[in-house]
C-alpha cells in the first residue's frame, strides 16, 4: 500500500503541494493527473524520498519514507520525468550499475537479461545512451525502475514525447506490470487514463480536485451517451437529429462532413432514438456509436473551477 497523508511542499512563498492525501492499494493503477505546474512531479519526488516534504509524509508498504527511507525505497521502482541516465554509459553498463546499487548480487545478470528482453533493448544494449532515441531512453529508464522487481512502481510522465507506437508499447508494459504491483502514473495525457488506469486522481495548484474511476469521470461529461454518426452518402442528418426531443445539439466535423455527433439533453439516452430515426429515414449508416464521455471535457471544467477558486490562497502561501 501507498498512503500519502497531508503532504505539502513550499519553495519560499510558493506552495507547490498543499495538504495532499490519498492511498493506493495493491492491483491499482493510479493515474496522477494535472496541468503543467500542478505539483505532480513534486509529489512524486516526495513520495520516493527524492526531496523532503515541508510537512506530511508518505507510507510505502509498512515504512515511512521520512523515518525509514532505506526500507521504503527498497520497495520502490521510480522513473523520474525525462528518464535521466548517464549519457556516456551503454544500457548494459547502466543496468549493471543500477543492479550494484540495488545489491542484486549473483542474481544481477539473470535479472538484467529478463528486463532487457521485456523492454526489447537487445539491439541498443551496447550503444551509448546519449545516442539513443527518446523512446529507447525511456525504455532504459523503465528497465532500471523494474530491475529489482519492486512491489510499487512510480512512473513520472512515462510516455511524454513518444510516438504513437512507442506509447502503445509502454502502456502495454504498464498494464502487464500492474498485474502484481501498485503502479502510479503521473501524466498530463488524458488518453493515458483510459489506456492503463483503474483510478484517476486530479490535482491543480497542488491540491486534490477529484479522486474517481475513469468511467465515473466520463459520466460527468456532457458527451456521456452522445452518439456519433457517419453516413455513406451525402445525406445531411443534422436537422432531423436536432428535431429529436432527447437531442440537445448536433455538432459537425469540418474535416469530415459526413460525420456528426448528437449531444444528449442531460440524462437522456439517445442511441435508440437515433437508431429508430435512421431506420425511418433509410439512412445509409456507415458508422454509429455511443460515447462513454470525454475526459478532456471533465478535466478542463474541474481544473478551471478549482484554479479560479484557489489561486489567491496559493499565491499567499
Which cell goes with 93?
A: 553498463
Residue 312 has pLDDT above 60, yes or no: no
pLDDT of residue 179: 85
Per-residue pLDDT tens for 165-184?
888 888 888 888 888 899 99
Q: How far is CA 46 from the centre of its chain?
A: 18
pLDDT of residue 311: 60
pLDDT of residue 317: 36
**What is the reported pTM?**
0.86
Residues written for the chain: 317
* Alpha-helix runs per DSSP H in the chain: 40-47, 69-74, 91-101, 108-118, 134-146, 164-177, 191-196, 214-218, 238-242, 271-281, 295-315
Of the ranges 11-20, 133-142, 190-199, which is most confident? Answer: 11-20
Q: Which of 47, 81, 249, 55 is nearest to 156 (CA)?
A: 81
Amino acid at each position: 500500500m501507498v498512503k500519502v497523508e497531508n503532504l505539502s511542499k513550499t519553495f519560499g512563498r510558493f506552495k507547490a503541494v498543499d495538504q495532499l492525501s490519498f492511498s493506493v492499494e495493491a492491483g491499482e493503477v493510479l493515474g496522477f493527473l494535472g496541468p503543467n505546474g500542478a505539483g505532480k512531479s513534486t509529489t512524486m519526488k516526495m513520495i520516493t524520498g527524492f526531496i523532503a516534504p515541508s510537512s506530511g509524509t508518505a507510507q510505502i508498504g509498512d515504512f515511512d519514507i521520512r523515518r525509514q527511507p532505506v526500507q521504503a525505497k527498497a520497495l520502490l521502482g521510480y522513473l523520474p520525468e525525462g528518464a535521466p541516465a548517464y549519457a556516456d554509459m551503454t544500457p548494459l553498463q547502466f543496468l549493471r550499475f543500477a543492479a550494484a546499487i540495488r545489491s542484486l548480487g549473483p542474481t544481477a545478470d539473470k535479472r538484467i537479461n529478463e528486463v532487457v528482453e521485456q523492454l526489447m533493448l537487445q539491439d541498443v544494449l551496447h550503444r551509448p545512451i546519449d545516442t539513443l532515441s527518446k523512446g529507447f531512453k525511456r525504455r532504459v529508464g523503465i528497465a532500471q525502475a523494474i530491475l529489482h522487481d519492486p512491489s510499487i512502481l512510480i512512473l513520472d510522465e512515462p510516455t511524454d514525447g513518444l510516438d504513437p507506437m512507442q506509447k502503445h508499447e509502454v502502456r502495454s508494459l504498464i498494464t502487464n506490470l500492474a498485474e502484481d504491483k501498485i503502479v502510479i502514473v503521473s501524466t498530463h495525457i488524458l488518453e493515458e487514463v483510459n489506456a492503463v488506469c483503474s483510478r484517476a486522481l486530479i490535482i491543480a495548484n497542488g491540491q486534490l480536485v477529484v479522486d474517481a474511476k475513469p468511467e465515473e469521470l466520463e459520466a460527468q461529461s456532457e458527451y456521456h451517451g452522445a452518439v456519433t454518426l457517419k453516413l455513406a452518402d451525402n445525406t445531411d442528418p443534422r436537422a432531423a437529429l436536432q428535431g429529436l426531443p432527447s437531442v440537445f445539439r448536433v455538432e459537425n466535423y469540418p474535416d469530415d462532413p459526413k460525420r456528426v455527433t448528437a449531444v444528449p439533453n442531460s440524462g437522456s439516452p439517445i442511441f435508440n432514438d437515433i437508431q429508430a430515426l435512421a431506420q425511418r429515414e433509410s439512412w445509409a449508416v456507415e458508422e454509429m456509436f455511443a460515447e462513454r464521455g470525454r475526459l478532456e471535457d471533465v478535466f478542463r471544467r474541474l481544473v478551471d473551477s478549482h484554479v479560479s477558486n484557489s489561486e489567491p490562497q496559493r499565491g499567499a502561501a
